[in-house]
Amino acid sequence: VPGSFKIGRIAGIPVELHWSLGFAALLVGGNLAVGLGPAFALAGLLLLFGSVLAHEFAHALVARRYGVGTQRITLWLLGGVAQLRSEPTTPRAAGFIAAAGPLASLAVAAASVGAAVATAGLDGPSGLVSVFAWSTAINALLAVFNLLPGAPLDGGRILAAVRWGRHGDRFRADTEAGTAGQVVGAIVVMVGVWLILQGYGGIAIAVTGLFIYMSAVAEKRAAPLRRSLEGVRVGDLTWFGVARARADTDAETMLWQRGRLGGAQVVAVEQPDGSLAGLVEEQKLWSVPEEQRRSVRLASLAVPFSRYAQASPDEPLSQVLARLHPLSPWVTVWRGDTLVGVITPEALKRRLEHAAHTG
């Protein structure tokens, strides 16, 4: 996810923070600090962070139980996202994976009530009691809000799973959940606007509603495409055997050897230690002014892999589309830590146009 950085792995799943989370932390932390002082505000922030993580890990761990891996968990302004590697194969799996998050939030809310009561009973600091009470409210809100029955919220995923189980067509079910998401989003926007008109702070609610509405529209638009790409794997479109060249190769030499680049017209740049620095497209070699081509090295032209969508050969193609970089829609294909090939923007475009005609 652009604008995110990895902080580590939990249970083997990479956890990333998006820059917008800092904004949320300042806002929430500032509010808490006014009432409780900085120490308890920090405790509250850590609890909030842990609560959102617990919610996302519940999705990820139940998914794992159904044989669905998690690519990464990203925390951002409006909460968290657990990005699954593939789609659940049964309505039952889809429903339980979706329900796990809100259930975890309810469990954390219950634990927070317990902690608040225990702290108060033991005559603990009142600031700590307030922090636990606040955590109860936040987690209950997180559960209830996420259970609103419209995609992309968990409640929408549960709705889609139920409909899928009922009529057996998952794409139709997704479209239905998308429509419900538009309705839910519109209602949340109206509630936000109403709160603003009443003089309360409803901006965050209105913005969240708008986000839900737009995500629901995007999911509905994607449903027919996903249907027509059903069964297509990343490996089906992959150009295997990307050429490699040393990082100190100059652009001129590489252009002389451009026959090596093959159909993908791209070269992987190899560092002295054997690791790969990134990719250079043939087009980029040509864009170096002719008089500089002898001095410009591949090392300085390489685009790091973090700037490309990454996928494994067995992954469904439809799954990868959401990860494409809009300006550079290449897919790098990996088996473990080894680059095995790429999907070029042209190959992808051709397949999608074909899908649009047949879908």
- Within 203-262, the residues that bind Zn ion by CB under 5 A are none
Helix spans in 9-125 (H): 20-36, 38-65, 91-121
Q: Nearest Cα to 142, choosing from 179, 106, 182, 110?
A: 106
Residue 149, preceding bond cis, omega within 30 degrees? no
Least distance in Å: CB of 142 to Zn ion? Answer: 8
In the complex with Zn ion, the residue whose CB is nearer, 101 or 209, is: 101
Least distance in Å: CB of 313 to Zn ion? Answer: 29
In the complex with Zn ion, the residue whose CB is nearer, 13 or 269, is: 13
In the complex with Zn ion, the residue whose CB is nearer, 154 or 270, is: 154
- CA 355, CA 342: separation in Å to the nearest integer? 20
- Within 85-104, the residues that bind Zn ion by CB under 5 A are 101
In the complex with Zn ion, the residue whose CB is nearer, 154 or 176, is: 154
- CA 44, CA 36: separation in Å to the nearest integer? 10
In the complex with Zn ion, the residue whose CB is nearer, 63 or 303, is: 63
Provide the 8-state DSSP code for 107. H
Stretch in the footprint of Zn ion (CB under 5 A) among 152-160, 165-173, 284-292, 315-323: 152-160
User: Pick the catalytic residue: 16, 56, 219, 281?
Assistant: 56
Least distance in Å: CB of 344 to Zn ion? Answer: 35
Among 57, 109, 138, 154, binds Zn ion (CB under 5 A): 154
Q: In the complex, which residue's CB is closest to Zn ion?
A: 101
Whether the Cβ atoms of residue 233 and residue 313 lie closer than 8 Å to each other: yes
The CA radius of gyration of the chain, in Å to the nearest whole number, is 24
Stretch in the footprint of Zn ion (CB under 5 A) among 46-54, 148-156, 164-172, 306-314: 148-156
List C-alpha distances in Å: 269 to 152, 312, 347.
39, 20, 22
At position 297, the amino acid (one-letter code) is R
Whether the Cβ atoms of residue 247 and residue 271 lie closer than 8 Å to each other: yes
Least distance in Å: CB of 215 to Zn ion? Answer: 13
Least distance in Å: CB of 80 to Zn ion? Answer: 7
List C-alpha distances in Å: 89 to 94, 163, 280, 333.
7, 14, 37, 23
Strands 13-18 and 70-76, bridge-based pairing:
parallel
Least distance in Å: CB of 56 to Zn ion? Answer: 7
Q: Check if 56 is active-site.
A: yes
Work out whether 156 is an interface residue with Zn ion (CB under 5 A). no
- CA 181, CA 149: separation in Å to the nearest integer? 7
Tokens of 279: 């990719």
Strands 266-270 and 243-246, bridge-based pairing:
parallel
Q: Angle at CA 327, nearest 5°, toward 322 and 333?
A: 55
In the complex with Zn ion, the residue whose CB is nearer, 33 or 106, is: 106
Work out whether 315 is an interface residue with Zn ion (CB under 5 A). no
Stretch in the footprint of Zn ion (CB under 5 A) among 60-68, 70-78, 139-147, 299-307: 139-147
- CA 79, CA 322: separation in Å to the nearest integer? 19
| 3-state secondary structure (DSSP) of residue 119 | helix
Total of residues contacting Zn ion (CB under 5 A): 3
Say which residue the tokens 């591949």 belong to.
298
In the complex with Zn ion, the residue whose CB is nearer, 101 or 202, is: 101
Least distance in Å: CB of 146 to Zn ion? Answer: 5
The residues of the shown chain that bind Zn ion, judged by CB under 5 A, are 101, 146, 154
Active site residues: 56
